[in-house]
Amino acid sequence: MKKAPQKTLPPIASPLAEAVARDVLIAEIEAWAQRIGVEDRISEIQIRPMKRKWASCSSRGRLTFDTALLHQPAEFRREVIVHELLHLKIPNHGRLFKALLKAYLPESIQ
């Protein structure tokens, strides 16, 4: 998922107001993976600095999330997580992908 320009990021009251630990982010990812039914398709979860994207997903099941996501609001983290996990089912951003995204996140800003 590509990073949006800085001015369109979700507003944050303070950088630490929504900060979570790596373990919490991984737990969120694993919980959503189970809900979506892709937990068996994940080979690895990485959290590391990324310059151009919030996250990425390889065809072999490697999920990589930007460390900056640890400082984003829970709602935004959820959108990034669900977006990437859905790529384990559907590799493109076609109609089916968008329909599933809306089904899992009906209040989404995407």
pLDDT digits 0-9 by tens, 10-26? 554 444 555 789 999 99
Tally of CB atoms within 10 A around 92: 8
pLDDT at 45 over 80: yes
What is the helix, strand, coil percentage profile of the chain, to 5?
45, 15, 40
Helices 74-86 and 95-104 pack at an angle, to 10 degrees, of: 140
Domain 16-104 superfamily per CATH: Metalloproteases ("zincins"), catalytic domain (3.30.2010.10)
Domain spans of the chain, in order of start: 16-104
pLDDT digits 0-9 by tens, 22-41? 999 999 999 999 999 999 99
- The pTM of this model reads 0.82
